Amino acid sequence: MKVDGQSVDAYYFCVGGSLGAHASVARPVGYRCTALEVPNAIERLLQRFHNERGPGENLRRFFHRHSDAELRSFLAGEIVEPVERDPAPGPIPHGLEG
């Protein structure tokens, strides 16, 4: 990601994946931020979950009941437009999915 003309490490958020009996793939929500912003984004998201979750609601269900736009705003701390995921730089190595 470019910040002030410099390339910096960045992360694109996907949420809601799980393993086991209710296995699912995490869904992309269209939010990307610099690596330095990741801890604050996660803290905002988890604080929102803590404050608004329903009785017995786990994080997977919380993600399921919110739209991508809502989850982006929780991560960003404000309403933001979605961004596309960067294309893969080349073929995915055998045995990996991305």
| More confident: 82 or 36 | 36
Mean pLDDT of 76-85: 89
The one-letter code for the residue type at 49 is F
| Contact yes or no for 28/98 (Cβ under 8 A) | no
Give the domain ranges of the chain. Answer: 2-76
C-alpha distances out from residue 37 to 5, 93, 97, Å: 18, 29, 26
**How would you classify the pairing of strands 10-15 and 6-7?**
unpaired
Band of the pLDDT at 97, cuts 50, 70, 90?
A: low
Write down the pTM of the prediction: 0.81
